[in-house]
């Protein structure tokens, strides 16, 4: 039986580079950094004083003060990105189709900001001062649930929690739901609002995040020899996915096609990737097999590229294992060099970047790439965007717990694409 095609018809995001797709994409192509001093709490006692924060986001204006106060930041961001994605797609949800439209929204940490605030209330004032909204605000599935409430989506609705692979898994699993006929359209992506004191403290004591306080905008430097950890970021990205038939029948603009997806696990360590990159490589191989493509047909890879010593070296090894000699001719970039690491939302934003790259024929750079690492010797599109004809692109996401996810997206032209 011919496999059902799944296409992308809408994009929405709120990121450290801007509160919509246009400003985020323009910032990426310009090589701008979204990193700066932490403003959401006083970081003076911390090892790291900077992060990639969302700027100028007003949840009260978006949701109204009452509803905004009943949502954690990660949920507020998800609702904002969903609003843009639905408007971009032109998809109308009403009583006639609401059970055929769903949402899968991934997050790595969920409502950790709410949990910290309410835990402090409990310690300082006692149990009666804890908010009755604490539990629904902190649950990882609340973003998906609130998106359903706000936009009337009564179809499949769930959260994916696979650490930094969550956003990619959400998109891949949503596509699979459409393929098996469980929905005609899905809102899929990820959201994270975890620039809070306890999260930064936790990453600091792990030595996972950069402490380059003297030059924060140059701190995220994937694949560079002098990388010293990732930069924590926040934001949300949502894609509208539809079956090709559904999108065509309503005359939607088709932006790209989800042609391949796979997920594996390292089964190695709770935080460190397998050094040889074998399970990540297998994930890429399986995604290519799912897409019916050869490695040589991939024109661009948006790497996980976190700017940690272990990840960047193991991902490079994995790409070489899958692509062989073609690895040296395949352009790769890590947009985390500009956005920081959005944790559970990272893969969703990077899938969105891949759609824009396909649309515009341009690949964003890896900024702050200055000193080559012998263990990372591929073409990382250093410091300047690059134009090219792109037919198929790959997006990698790897998370704590050994979670690996890989998406392959392609141009929407041609009846045989992705079949």
- Residues serving a catalytic function are 164, 304, 341
DSSP for 12-32?
EEEBTTBSSHHHHHHHHHTT-
Q: What angle is formed at CA 135 by the lines to CA 123 and CA 144, rounded to 5 degrees? A: 145
Here the tokens at position 149 are: 């409430």
CB 388 within 8 A of CB 357: no
Instruction: State how far Cα 395 lies from the chain centre.
Output: 10
Buried b (16+ CB within 10 A) or exposed e, 88-122: bbebebeeebeebbbbbbbbbbbbbbbbbbbeebe
CA separation for the pair 41, 29 (Å, rounded):
30
How many residues can be counted in the chain?
A: 419
| H runs (alpha helix) in 233-365 | 244-249, 278-291, 309-323, 336-339, 346-360
CA separation for the pair 142, 40 (Å, rounded):
22
Strand partners, 36: 51
Sign of CA dihedral 213, 217, 218, 223: positive
């Amino acid at each position: 039986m011919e496999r059902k095609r799944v296409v992308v018809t809408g994009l929405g995001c709120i990121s450290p580079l801007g509160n919509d797709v246009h400003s985020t994409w323009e910032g990426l192509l310009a090589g701008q950094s979204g990193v700066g001093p932490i403003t959401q709490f006083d970081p003076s006692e911390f090892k790291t004083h900077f992060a990639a924060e969302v700027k100028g986001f007003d949840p009260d204006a978006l949701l109204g003060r009452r509803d905004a106060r009943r949502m954690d930041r990660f949920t507020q961001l998800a609702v904002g990105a969903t609003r843009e994605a639905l408007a971009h797609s032109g998809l109308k949800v009403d009583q006639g189709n609401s059970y055929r439209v769903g949402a899968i929204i991934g997050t790595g940490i969920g409502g950790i900001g709410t949990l910290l605030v309410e835990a402090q209330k409990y310690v300082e004032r006692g149990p009666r001062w804890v908010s009755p909204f604490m539990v629904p605000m902190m649950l990882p599935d609340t973003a998906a649930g609130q998106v359903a409430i706000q936009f009337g989506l009564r179809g499949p609705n769930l959260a994916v929690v696979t650490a930094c692979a969550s956003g990619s898994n959400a998109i891949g699993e949503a596509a699979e739901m459409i393929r098996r006929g469980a929905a005609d359209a899905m809102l899929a992506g990820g959201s994270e609002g975890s620039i809070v004191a306890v999260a930064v403290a936790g990453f600091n004591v792990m030595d996972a995040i950069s402490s380059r306080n003297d030059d924060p905008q140059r701190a995220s430097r994937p694949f560079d020899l002098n990388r010293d950890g990732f930069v924590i970021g926040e934001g949300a990205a949502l894609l509208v996915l539809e079956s090709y038939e559904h999108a065509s029948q309503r005359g939607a603009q088709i932006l790209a096609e989800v042609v391949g997806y796979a997920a594996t696990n390292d089964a190695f360590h709770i935080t460190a990737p397998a050094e040889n990159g074998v399970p990540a490589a297998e994930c890429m191989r399986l995604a290519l097999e799912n897409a019916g493509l050869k490695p040589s047909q991939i024109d661009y890879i948006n790497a996980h590229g976190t700017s940690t010593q272990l990840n960047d070296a193991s991902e490079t090894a994995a790409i070489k294992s899958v692509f062989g000699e073609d690895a040296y001719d395949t352009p790769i970039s890590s947009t985390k060099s500009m956005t920081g690491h959005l944790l559970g939302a990272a893969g969703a934003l990077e899938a969105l970047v891949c759609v824009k790259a396909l649309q515009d024929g341009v690949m964003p750079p890896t900024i702050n790439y200055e000193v080559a690492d012998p263990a990372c010797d591929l073409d990382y599109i250093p410091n300047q965007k690059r134009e090219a004809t792109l037919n198929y692109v790959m997006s990698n996401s790897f998370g704590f717990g050994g979670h690996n996810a890989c998406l392959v997206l392609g141009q929407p032209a041609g009846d045989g694409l992705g079949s």
